[in-house]
Amino acid sequence: MSNSLKTYFMKQALLEAYRAMGTTGKNPNVGCVLVKNNFIIARARTSPGGRPHAEENLVSQLSKTELNGSSLFVTLEPCAHKGKNGTSCAELISNSGIKEVFISNYDPDLRTSGKGLEILRKSKIHVFTDFLVNEGHDLNIGYLTNFSSNRPFVTIKFAISLDGKIALKNKNSKWISNELSRNFGHMIRAQSDGILTTNSTIKEDDSMLTCRLNGLEKYSPLKIIVDRGLKLNENYSIFKNTKKENLIIYHCSNDKSKIKKYPKNIDLVYFNNKKNFLNLILNDLANRKIKNLLIESGTTFCSEMIKANLVDQIAFFRSNKIIGNDGLPFVNNLSLKKISDSISMKVIDTKFFDNDIYELRRFN
């Protein structure tokens, strides 16, 4: 099999995995394709909720004859820990007749890390690692960040004018971006595990923080509100028809009278450490297996996160409107003394939505 074909087949596995983005719960989104005689004969991805895994979904489609002598391309090391079916994906592959496995990334989960490959090799399966490793890393960057940094991978989303303003000074911002941009923004919500905002944004917008694309409503992310002083109350729309597992409020107030203003169907989390408040939030979210966190909030909070080096990338939806000094910038004073101190970002992706430009930029 030529290297160009191997690259093509791994890209197909990555594409399958991206189709599961935001749907796999605590598990990584994994994709795989099975190749025989240089043709893809089956493809699969992680199921909604995280189970069954991609490899189990693929193997269950095929007969022993079809599996025998085939090549598997999978985006993440097959798991070595047993699932509800009593076997691991590595064991399932070992007993399937598959002759060789191509893998993009190792799994950092200690239950699997290296162990999955060991099971395959002991079964005399040829194992090839680090295929499109950077692309595989980007695919599961939130999952990998959970393990490496004990926090989610953090993305801020901004709709901005051509000159970088998020609203007029009177807080009017509807609409800076066009409908195509806003729809894609809802797709990003659906692909995120959690969406975070502040009490100030809730007060201004009465936002629901849901995905409002037809058919994707059920993939709305976990709602998270930073409300240090418990300044909200149960009358806001976000508190209606919610469940405790779907909404978290992080605060640092021990005022019992304020706590009583909140409905009981939410998860109120108290941190007494104001200095390390933001880090504690991200650590707690990582412990809850929130892999990709989307922030939709105002200038003050987003600037605080950026200055604390707790943001990994920004998704800009830049419109064709010019607002000038009548507007609010997307970032506040960074206390810079010279240009060499400025924050630089690299372009990861761009898209055009009519006259809007989507720019995904990652911090260097």
206: Cβ–Cβ under 8 A, 6 or more apart, which residues? 236, 237, 238
Q: What are phi and psi of 224, to 5 degrees?
A: -135, 130
How far is residue 205's CA from residue 238's CA, in Å, rounded to a whole number?
11
At 1 the pLDDT is 83
Q: Is 179 a catalytic residue?
A: no
Separation CA 117–CA 129 (nearest Å) = 9
Residues contacting residue 67 through CB under 8 Å, at least 6 positions apart: 34, 59, 96, 97, 98
* CA dist list (Å): 36 to 66, 98, 232, 303: 8, 10, 59, 52
Task: Catalogue all structural domains in the chain, each as residue range(s) with its CATH number.
Answer: 3-139 (3.40.140.10), 151-363 (3.40.430.10)
Q: What does the mean pLDDT of the chain come to?
A: 93
Instruction: Tell me the C-alpha distance between 364 and 123, whole Å.
Output: 42
Rounded CA-CA distance 63/35 in Å is 14
Confidence bin at 194 (pLDDT 50/70/90): very high
Greatest extent of the chain over all pairs of C-alpha atoms, in Å: 70
Give me the sign of the Cα torsion angle 277, 172, 296, 268: positive
Residue predicted with more confidence, 364 or 34: 34
Instruction: Indicate which residue of 55, 56, 77, 91 is catalytic.
Output: 55
**Which of the two residues, 336 and 247, has the higher pLDDT score?**
247
CA gap 357, 153 in Å, rounded: 23
pLDDT computed for residue 107 by the predictor = 95
Burial label, 99 (beta-carbon count in 10 A; 0-12, 13-18, 19+): middle
Tens digit of pLDDT for each residue in 59-91? 999 999 999 999 999 999 999 998 777 899 999
pLDDT surpasses 80 at 349: yes
Region 136-153: mean pLDDT is 96
pLDDT, position 32: 98
Question: Can you tell me the mean pLDDT for 180-188?
Answer: 96
How many Cβ atoms sit within 10 Å of the Cβ of residue 38? 11
